Amino acid sequence: MNRDEIRIEEFDGDHRDLERSFRLAEDSDTKLDEYIDSGRVWVAVTEQAEVVGHIHAVASVDGSTWEVVNTAVVEDRQGIGIGRRLLERAVDEAKSSGANRVELATATADIGNLRFYQRCGFRMSRIVRDAFGPHSGDMN
């Protein structure tokens, strides 16, 4: 399946219906509970209505900054541009809503993710030690 057979659309249902997809990128039940009901979600959907990826972004109170809090593409659909299309959609929506900054965080141990975000135009602004450690939520 190529990327053209995938459509990107805003998800307007209960975010918890996508929990399986969210868990591809989030290990912590505590962290997921903190943000799952907020923000906006876009999904990558096949012609058979299967969700194969998502991106979840939350705007700051004043709307000037959006944070990508969770994004994932199922493993067998990675590498064909779905993640890039999801990220581009979220960034476009942030800009059209008046935001002037989009942020995200990823573990430095995941070099593939760092490379992906840099290829999409993001730049590292800082390193936060142990940002995803036990103190930030449970590890199950």
Instruction: Dump pLDDT digits (tens) for 31-85.
Output: 899 999 999 999 999 999 999 999 999 999 999 999 999 999 999 999 999 999 9
Q: Is residue 86 part of a domain?
A: yes
Token pair 């999801």 is found at 86
Give this prediction's pTM: 0.84
With respect to residue 139, please indicate whether it lies within any of the assigned structural domains.
no
- Does residue 52 lie within any of the structural domains? yes
Q: Report pLDDT for 125.
A: 77
pLDDT score recorded for residue 123: 84
Q: What is the pLDDT of residue 115?
A: 86
Q: Report if residue 128 sits inside a domain.
A: no
The position carrying tokens 């912590």 is: 28
DSSP 14: -
Q: Which domain holds residue 21?
A: 3-121
Q: Which residues fall within 8 angstroms of residue 69, CB to CB, at 6 or more apart? A: 35, 39, 56, 57, 58, 104
* pLDDT given at position 37: 94
d(CA 138, CA 117): 26
pLDDT in tens, 70-124: 999 999 999 999 999 999 999 999 999 999 999 988 766 678 888 888 898 888 8
- Type and span of the H or E element at 28: none
Distances (CA, A) of 5 to 1, 42, 49, 77: 7, 16, 11, 12
- Which tokens is 69 given? 């809090």
pLDDT band at 14 (very low <50, low <70, confident <90, very high): very high
| 94 assigned to some structural domain | yes
- Is 133 part of any domain? no
112: closest CA among 138, 75, 139? Answer: 75
Q: Is residue 113 part of a domain?
A: yes
Judge whether 39 lies within some domain.
Answer: yes
Domain count, the chain: 1
- Residue 24 sits in a domain of what CATH number? 3.40.630.30
Confidence of residue 137 (pLDDT cuts 50, 70, 90): very low
